Structure 1
Amino acid sequence: MPIEHARACLELEADAIRALIPRINDQFAAAMGMVLNCSGRVVVTGMGKSGLIGKKIAATLASTGTPAFFLHPAEGIHGDLGMVTAGDIILAISNSGETNEIISILPTLKRIGAPIIAMTGREQSTLVQNADVFLNVGVEKEACPLGLAPTASTTATLAMGDALAVALLSARNFTPEEFALYHPGGALGRKLLLTVENVMHSGEDMPVVSPDKTVKEALFAITAHGLGAVVVVDSLDTMLLLGLLTDGDIRRSLEKGHEFLDKPVAELMTRKPRTITKDKLAAHALNIMEKNKPRPITLLPVVDSQFRAIGIIHLTDLLRQGVV
């Protein structure tokens, strides 16, 4: 029986969301227009479970390009309504449309002059009568078998909030880079904001040799810098990239003897290695490393528009920054 109740809960909540699709109508478009033309912020308010859903909707709006915050209606009664200005828009959430705390702040909101979007399940309610736009999130029944706990209704409300946020995101042509700007501390932000220039080794930290140096000398440079490779350039003045010599190249050659250690680097280096420019995303560098054929690589020389070596980036640099 509990398993059947769980399945019935998901069916009812899925039905509640499907029922919202025809309600993406003129009222929804009007709500979008109000928000897009808003000079202030979207102030989301709701009590109890509606308030918890409201906090998530406010957070989603704020992270997708629509300035928003949550106002607790009970706190609003006691002074927090001072946060609201005439340039803001109110998104008031109440399943019944008669929540006392919400109804209590309506007169002040009307006096301030902030337009109101009502997100409720009852068209004939005090909230809708005092609102400028009505978003219908009503459900036929709650998923709770007792018909008491807000379940399908809160799911529908959350889904409608997501629909509004996504529609606004699309209308604003909101980009992944803008999204990352609001999430600088997360892994997503690091992937979308971190560039090769931010993590590459350059200047004295970049191991570099000319092609006439011996493999032994190059090996000393590799060991000194601890990156497992050395960048080969035509000269230290022009820094034109010629190739890359890795410790893997040296280990594979040692299987045939050690005479090659006294030969010029030019005879052992990999010519025309995979490269990247400093303005590319660090995540793009990772993609090149992982997708390289016939086998993944762990290093990329960084070049400028004249193909001069200006740095090198290692897989471990990306790991430390949380790009992987």
Structure 2
Amino acid sequence: MTFDAARALRLAHETFEIEAAAVLGLKARTGEAFGRAVRMMLDVRGRVVVMGMGKSGHIGRKVAATLASTGTPAMFVHPAEASHGDLGMIKPVDLVLAISNGGESEEITVILPVLKRLGVPMIAMTGSAASTLALHADVALDSGVEKEACPLNLAPTASTTAQLAMGDALAVALLDARGFRTEDFARSHPGGALGRKLLTHLSDVMRAGDAIPRVGPDTPFTALMREMSAKGLGASAIVDDDNRVLGIFTDGDLRRLVEKGVDLRAVTAREVMFPQPRTIRDDALAVEAAELMEKHRITSVLVVDAQGRLCGAVNSNDLMRAKVI
């Protein structure tokens, strides 16, 4: 068989157009039933149990994962396995979201009477309003499409795209209704980049105690340099007797003094420090320190407590090690 690159590209473009039309077509057919479905999912005391066979099952797994990660407890139960014992996972306090384009998947229809006897409410996502699934459901969402993107109009393509979009619409409406916030999302994704940014506080990554480079204002320059070298921050705080920050001295300040030809043997920390440096509170998020450094083009920042006393220090390397940046 000869490969025709031009034909492949044309089919790709047609696929995009057909699937985009399938998703946009949902808008005109999505009405009050959608609101009732969201209300039912909000009110459920247990979990949203998502079901689907074949390609609809793959979509169902993704929908369940999206719901769970955005504040709606959900799980996927394979309908074929449900007939062989997994129905025990479903309780009367749960709600079933069944996905089937034709609405006649035997593995789903065979368990509909059992779910009814259990008193489990059901939402159907189907392309056929007259199907067995739609007629048994408390609410039916129309996810039908005019045609599949498959040239044979057989392989589930546009229909699964529409199901996925409808599932995402449910998740978005639910997270908004629940007042789900960025911080809530982060708690569901502690291992991801967003989770690290929103759950990592400065107190988790900053240098504290004896690891903080600090000297008094009358400290000779040579002692200041020894403190900087020993602590490895690339900077040192200059503090008063009450541990309040007077200034900071950095590697960059040292380079500028050398370029000016200043006699460093005769100066004190007070004379070379940058006064009133930018500081950040110890209860701030680590990502806030990263944003502060980026905004002001600095590589380290001093951390102070609620009383304004020095309690920590952090540089860009510390944040990189914590995978905040």
User: What TM-score, normalized to structure 1?
Assistant: 0.97
Matched ranges for 1:255-274 at <5 A: 255-257=259-261, 259-274=263-278
Equivalent residue, structure 2, for 1:186: 192
SS in 2 for 1:19: helix
Equivalent residue, structure 2, for 1:44: 50
Equivalent pair of 1:181/1:189 in contact (CA under 8 Å): yes
Equivalent pair of 1:282/1:323 in contact (CA under 8 Å): yes
Equivalent residue, structure 2, for 1:313: 314
Equivalent residue, structure 1, for 2:12: 6
SS in 1 for 2:256: helix
Indicate whether 1:128 and 2:134 are aligned.
yes
- TM-superposition CA deviations, 1:8-62 (whole Å, max 9, x none): 1100000001011123311000000001111001000001100000000000000
Alpha-carbon deviation of 1:110?
1.1
Distance, in Å, in 1 between the alignment partners of 2:106 and 2:78 is 13
In structure 2, what residue type is equivalent to 1:51? Answer: G
Distance, in Å, in 2 between the alignment partners of 1:261 and 1:14 is 72
Alpha-carbon deviation of 1:250?
1.3
Equivalent residue, structure 2, for 1:290: 294
SS in 1 for 2:252: helix
Distance, in Å, in 2 between the alignment partners of 1:89 and 1:211 is 67
Equivalent pair of 1:16/1:156 in contact (CA under 8 Å): yes
Query: Which structure 1 residue ranges, 4+ long, deviate > 3 Å from structure 2?
Result: none
Equivalent pair of 2:237/2:248 in contact (CA under 8 Å): yes
Distance, in Å, in 1 between the alignment partners of 2:127 and 2:32 is 17
Indicate whether 1:82 and 2:88 are aligned.
yes
Alpha-carbon deviation of 1:257?
3.4
In structure 2, what residue type is equivalent to 1:221? Answer: E
- TM-superposition CA deviations, 1:278-298 (whole Å, max 9, x none): 111111111111111xxx111
Consecutive unaligned residues in structure 1, runs of 5 or more: none
Matched ranges for 1:11-90 at <5 A: 11-90=17-96
Matched ranges for 1:164-179 at <5 A: 164-179=170-185
Equivalent pair of 1:216/1:262 in contact (CA under 8 Å): no
Please tell me the root mean square deviation across aligned C-alpha atoms, in Å. Answer: 1.0
User: What TM-score, normalized to structure 2?
Assistant: 0.96
SS in 2 for 1:244: strand
SS in 2 for 1:276: strand
Alpha-carbon deviation of 1:179?
0.3
Distance, in Å, in 2 between the alignment partners of 1:308 and 1:76 is 61
Equivalent pair of 1:276/1:303 in contact (CA under 8 Å): yes
In structure 2, what residue type is equivalent to 1:259? Answer: D
Equivalent pair of 1:234/1:242 in contact (CA under 8 Å): yes
Identity within the alignment, %:
55
Indicate whether 1:252 and 2:256 are aligned.
yes
Equivalent residue, structure 2, for 1:303: 304
Of 122, 126, 144, which aligns to 1:138? 144
Alpha-carbon deviation of 1:111?
1.5
SS in 2 for 1:62: helix
Equivalent residue, structure 1, for 2:4: none
Distance, in Å, in 2 between the alignment partners of 1:204 and 1:122 is 70
In structure 2, what residue type is equivalent to 1:287? Answer: E
Distance, in Å, in 1 between the alignment partners of 2:123 and 2:29 is 14
- TM-superposition CA deviations, 1:102-129 (whole Å, max 9, x none): 1111111111111000000000000011
SS in 2 for 1:255: helix
